Amino acid sequence: MKAARFSRFGGPEVLEIVDLPDPHAGPGQVRVGVRAAGVNPSDWKKRAGLMDPELPQTMGYEAAGIVDELGDGVADVALGDRVFGFCTEGVAQAELAVLSFFAPIPPSLDFAGAATLPAAVETATRALDQLGVGNASTLLVNGASGSVGSAAVQLAVVRGARVIGTASRANHEYLRSLGAEPVAYGEGLVGRVRELAPDGVDTALDVAGSGVLPQLIELAGGPGHVVTIADFEGARKHGVLFSSGDAGRAVHALAEVSELIESRHFALPVTQTFPFAEIAQAHRVGEQGHLRGKLVLLVG
C-alpha cells in the first residue's frame, strides 16, 4: 500500500509517499480502505522532531473509509460498511488503515466530513469529562474556533452548560452560531470575561496554549478547575491538568457524536481538502494557523 512517511526531520519537503506492507486487522479491529484522513497539528510537530525521536515515522491517527477486513470478535460492523475512527498505530494517512476504535459514519456525512471527527471529538469529550462539565455550569474555552475548541463548545452546550469562548473578532459570529458567547483573546481577557460572568466561571479549557493559564486559573477559582490540551510546560508550572490520551481515551464519543450530527446539534467544518499526493501542501497550510475547521487528505 501507499503511505505517508518521513525519514528525516524537517519541513514539509521531507514528507514522502512510499510503499509499505499491507496491514491486517487484529482482534477487535477493522481494516478500511481509506477514503479520507484528518491532518492535525501533531502531524507537523512529529515531522519537525518535537515529539517522537525515532525514524522513519508514518503519519496519521484518524481516518474514514470502507471496511475490507474484520478482526476476530468484531460483530458490530460488516464488510463494506462506512466507518470512521482511530488508527492507534499512527498509519492512517495511507491507502489501508487498521482502526482500533471506530463507529459507523453518520448517514448525512461524506468521508471527508467523517475524517474530521475522531481526534477533535475525542479530545474535547475527554477534557469535558475531566472538568465535569454539566448542566447549568459555565465553561470558558480558550481557543474556541478551531476544530477541538468548536467541538468542545458544541458538546458542552449539549450538556446544558453556558459557554464563553475566546477567538479573534473575525470568528465571533461563528462562535455565536455554535451557542457560545464570544470574547476577544489577548490583554484584558479577565476583564472581558467578567463583563459576561462577574463571578468568574466554573471551569476553563485551554485549547490554544497561548500562555493564558494564570488568567484561566483566576477566572475559574483555582488550577483544579482548569484543563489544558496545549500547554504542557504551563500545566506543570501552574498545577493544571494536562489532558492527553495516555490516561485513556474517551472513545465512547465516536458513537455518541453520530446521533448529535444527525439531530443537527453538532458539526465540524472541513476547511480544505487535498489529494493524498499533496500532503506537503496540507502541512504548509496547517502550519500557517488560524484554521476554523480541519484539513483532510483525500486518499481513495
- pLDDT tens string 26-81: 999 999 999 999 999 889 889 999 888 999 999 999 999 999 999 999 999 999 99
Q: How many Å separate Cα 236 from the centre of its chain? A: 22
CATH class of 2-116+269-298: alpha beta
- pLDDT tens string 265-280: 999 988 899 999 999 9
Cis peptide before 56, with omega less than 30 degrees from 0? yes
Instruction: Specify the pTM.
Output: 0.93
The yes-or-no answer to whether 2-116+269-298 and 121-246 have a common fold is yes
What residue ranges in the chain does DSSP mark as E strands?
A: 2-6, 15-19, 30-39, 57-58, 62-70, 82-86, 96-99, 101-104, 138-142, 162-167, 181-184, 203-206, 226-228, 241-242, 270-275, 294-298
pLDDT given for residue 247 in this prediction: 66
The domains of the chain are located at 2-116+269-298, 121-246
CATH topology of domain 121-246: Quinone Oxidoreductase; Chain A, domain 1 (3.90.180)
Q: From 199, 198, 193, select the one nearest 180 (Cα to Cα).
A: 193
Q: From 15, 105, 109, select the one nearest 57 (Cα to Cα).
A: 15
Band of the pLDDT at 289, cuts 50, 70, 90? Answer: confident
Residue 159 reports pLDDT greater than 90: yes
